[in-house]
């Protein structure tokens, strides 16, 4: 691929065309096209069951594609699995650490699996423990770590081989807010150092924070693609007015406010009115004699794009 502006060739880390994955009768991935360039932070967004993890496993060269073509670093993962995995860092959805080994040995043996010489892997392990702020836990058992620490250790482990491409499957799911911010900070630093990041998430704020570009997946297909801002501009309005009424009143009230915005979304606990000016919506709602229990005017986020595209909330 050639960058038209500079004329330089842009290296594709991942290139998929018509990629499919079938498990028996279930079509998890139904023909997706994806290109990820060097030093890019790329996100797969989608509800559970959208096919994100299946896609990630194919990219990680541990799951053979059913159909279509897939190239990682320009190589076919079916034929060059080991060579591809040697250059990948993988941070799986569930922390799967070696619970029979202590923190340091987890990094040490993992690095050795890549064929990295002893002295190099030791130095790298110490540096990574420092990077994820776990140096004082080097001799601890895995069971004694908190969720945030385990996740940081898993991220450190995925960096042991200085990967060209780092795959993160829901990197902050299940973490408390502080722990999430530490992880985001570390991922952001890696991105600045030129590491290509590919992550899946169902946290919209995470995608907005970290991703240069992302695709929204639903039922095995890509339903939208672009930068977070472009997606919001394309699929949502500038602002959203959130209106909260009494339990069970939302369905009935929706019709009475539907003309106030471009679109109204009915959630179990509130109405979302999409409009250019949210305050104006709230004022008009009150003028109509409606009295919501609570109101909130906010900027549109990826979550709104998501609701629009997949037609459901993210809690499933």
Partner 1 sequence: MTTQLTGVATARTAPNPAQAVGLMLLRNYLVYRSAWKIFVTGFIEPVLYLFSIGIGVGELIDTFEFNGRAIPYAEFVAPAMLAASAMNGAIYSSTFNVFFKLKFDKLYDQILATPLSTGDVARGEIAWGLVRGGVYSAAFIVVMLVMGLISSWWAVLALPAALLIGFAFSAVGMALTTYMRTWQDFEKVTLLQLPLFLFSATFFPISALGGWSWLIEISPLYRGVVLCRELTTGALSQASVISVVYLVVMGLIGLVVVRRRLSLLLLK
CA separation for the pair 297, 159 (Å, rounded): 41
Compose the 13-42 pattern: x for residues touching partner 1 by CB under 8 A, - for all others.
Answer: ----------x-------------------
**Which of the ranges 185-193, 198-206, 212-220, 292-300 carries the binding residues for partner 1, by CB under 8 A?**
185-193
Q: For residues 6 and 117, give the distance between their C-alpha atoms in angstroms, rounded to a whole number.
A: 39
Contact set for partner 1, span 144-183 (CB under 8 A): 159-162
Any alpha helices (H) in the chain, and if so which ranges? 52-59, 81-85, 103-113, 118-131, 147-158, 177-192, 204-210, 228-235, 250-257, 278-287, 302-310
* SS3 assignment, position 282: helix
Name the token pair of 271: 């109405």
Answer for which of 18, 74, 83, 246 binds partner 1 (CB under 8 A) is 83
CA dist 48 and 28 (Å) reads 11
The answer to the question of residue 6 lying near partner 1 (CB under 8 A) is no
According to CB under 8 A, which one of 48, 69, 94, 144 is a site residue for partner 1?
94
Distance in Å, CB of 100 to partner 1, minimum: 4
96 binds partner 1 (CB under 8 A): yes
Count CA atoms within 13 Å of residue 215 on its CB side. 18
Of the candidates 85, 180, 235, 308, which one interacts with partner 1 according to CB under 8 A? 85
Stretch that binds partner 1, among 35-43, 97-105, 227-235, 264-272 (CB under 8 A): 97-105
d(CA 52, CA 18): 15
CB 73 within 8 A of CB 13: yes
DSSP label at 51?
Answer: S
Q: For partner 1, which residue of 49, 92, 174, 226 counts as binding (CB under 8 A)?
A: 92
Please identify, using beta-carbon distances, which residue of 90 and 240 lies nearer to partner 1: 90
Q: Give the interface segment with partner 1, choosing from 2-10, 127-135, 266-274, 293-301 (CB under 8 A).
A: 127-135
For the segment 51-70, give every residue that binds partner 1 (CB under 8 A).
57, 60, 62-64
309 in Cβ contact with 245 (< 8 Å): no
Q: How far apart are CA 88 and CA 167, in angstroms?
A: 7
138 binds partner 1 (CB under 8 A): no
Which residues would be at the binding site for partner 1 (CB under 8 A)? 23, 57, 60, 62-64, 81-83, 85-88, 90, 92, 94, 96-101, 105, 108-117, 120-121, 123-124, 127-128, 130-131, 133, 159-162, 189-190, 193
């Amino acid at each position: 691929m050639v960058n038209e502006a500079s004329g330089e060739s842009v290296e594709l880390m991942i290139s998929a065309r018509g990629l499919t994955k079938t498990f028996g009768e279930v079509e998890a991935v139904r023909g997706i096209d994806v290109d990820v360039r060097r030093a890019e932070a790329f996100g797969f967004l989608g509800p559970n069951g959208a096919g994100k993890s299946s896609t990630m496993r194919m990219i990680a060269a541990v799951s053979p594609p059913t159909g279509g073509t897939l190239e990682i670093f320009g190589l076919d993962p079916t034929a060059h699995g080991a060579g591809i995995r040697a250059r990948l860092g993988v941070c799986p959805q569930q922390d799967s650490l070696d619970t029979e080994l202590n923190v340091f040995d987890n990094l040490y043996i993992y690095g050795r699996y890549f064929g990295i010489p002893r002295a190099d892997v030791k130095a790298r392990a110490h540096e990574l423990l420092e990077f994820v702020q776990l140096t004082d836990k080097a001799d601890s058992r895995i069971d004694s770590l908190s969720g945030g620490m385990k996740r940081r250790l898993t991220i450190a482990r995925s960096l042991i081989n200085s990967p060209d491409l780092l795959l993160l499957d829901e990197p902050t799911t299940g973490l408390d807010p502080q722990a999430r911010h530490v992880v985001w900070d570390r991922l952001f630093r890696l991105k600045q150092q030129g590491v290509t990041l590919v992550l899946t998430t169902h946290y919209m704020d995470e995608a907005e924070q970290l991703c240069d570009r992302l695709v929204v997946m639903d039922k095995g297909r890509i339903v939208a693609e672009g930068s977070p801002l472009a997606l919001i501009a394309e699929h949502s309005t500038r602002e959203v007015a959130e209106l909260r009424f009494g339990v069970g009143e939302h369905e009935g009230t929706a019709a009475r406010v539907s003309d106030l915005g471009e679109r109204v979304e009915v959630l179990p606990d509130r109405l979302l009115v999409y409009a250019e000016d949210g305050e104006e919506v709230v004022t008009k709602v009150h003028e109509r004699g409606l009295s919501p229990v609570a109101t909130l005017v906010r900027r549109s986020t990826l979550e709104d794009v998501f609701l629009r595209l997949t037609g459901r909330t993210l809690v499933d």
